[in-house]
Chains A and B, each alone.
Chain A
Amino acid sequence: MRRTLAKASFYTAVNLLAFALLGTAILAFTYNQTHERIEQSVEAEKLKLISQIVPQALFDNDVIADTLKITPDPLLGTEDATTAYRARLKGKPSVLVMEAVAPDGYSGKVALLIAIRDNGELAGVRVVSDRETPGLGDYIEIAKSKWILQFNGTSLAKYNGENWQVKKDGGQFDYMAGATISPRAVVKAVHKALQYFAQHQDALFAGTSLGVTP
């Protein structure tokens, strides 16, 4: 009796092991076959987003390859090192694309991609990921409304501190009634990112990392 029980358990264990090995092998093989293509599509998607906010006429370099690592910074709202992309025209810095996080969106963090021209003007802002309520707070996404486009062309020089708020709070930025919290968070995050850029502009276009020990 005991022997058959042991035998049955052993058979079960071997069976499980065999399927686990088979499953892992299949997945490892597929991963190997696809990961290059996956990386390519992710890069292509990134480039698409970047070319959306950086005017084609402003760069002639390989933006995706011209990167800079940035350490987490309170002004950027980031908690991990992020990658910034640098657009150059005839070797001269033209636009910096960097990530920033608005930590106080209505449903948590709103991740942003912010493009700033070398004269401090915003080339464009896009929401990369958020968890806003569909049909309510999600108008900050370009797919849902043009709200985010009002940042284009604004800068620290154009608006002073007071103006970097939604109109309801006395600033310059539109919002939709009933959903003010996330736009407020995005405006604040963009404002802070501009300050970060102003403080570090030269360092951002030189070297390959900022504050990160390589």
Chain B
Amino acid sequence: MTATVKKSRRSLTAAPHIVWAILFIIAPLIFVAVYSFTASDGSFTFENFAALGDYTDAFVRSASYSLIATFICLLIGYPLAYAISNAAPKMQRILIMMVMLPMWINFLIRTYAIMKILEDTGIINTVLQAIFGEEFELHMINTPGAVIFGMVYDYLPYMVLPIYTVLQKLDPKLSEAAADLGCNKVQTLFKVTLPLSVSGIVSGITMVFVPSISTFYISQKLGGGQYLLIGDAIETAFGNTTTYNIGASMSLVLMIIVLLSTAIMNRFDKSENEGGAIV
């Protein structure tokens, strides 16, 4: 009996967290729901959701851009993580550190630096003009491509890290076993390494997709305000009390989209808590 008493008393240490979570995680989300179902005078309404129709393009655009960015991150990030995990152990540490290092520069500054590089009068064009003459101009900034590039650049480390973590934990004997059973390098990669690193891929995708679909800074700086994303729309809405309600409904929909896609992604990942998404 005393043991059970002690057990339950031990779990009491979670109490501050539970109280905190109710106050500052659950309650705020309830307010998001409350605001999205009320008009600015506080009466119940579905109008905010009806008004979301105006923002369909922004939703579609955010989803498209972030999907493309995530996919590119995966295409670039997986081979990089794979190459790093195949390097000598000493080299691996340095290489993975070098992937993490840019994250220590605030993403605002990184994005701004990209803007300065991609501009029509930016470094790339200055160099190109020096080579091909004054008239030459490679227009990059303020295009969807620039926004997607910004997402890829800012969030690539989030893709590489979890994949690397999983790859590095993989038993090298497994790829030997595959080779032994008749797999060449490519077959080993696709039949053994890739399926076994699904958990890393899933957390990588989630970690890139979520900030990409909700970003507003990248589209502001690299899209020139031309390609309004849902994050921009939410940020703008919350600049003004009269549009809090529609902003809340946009957030609610965004949240549902994100949670749904995360849930779908996690279905691909059978191993629970294996992840190592966090470094």
The reply to whether chain A is a binding partner of chain B is no
Q: Which residues of B contact A (CB under 8 A)?
A: none
Q: Which residues of A contact B (CB under 8 A)?
A: none
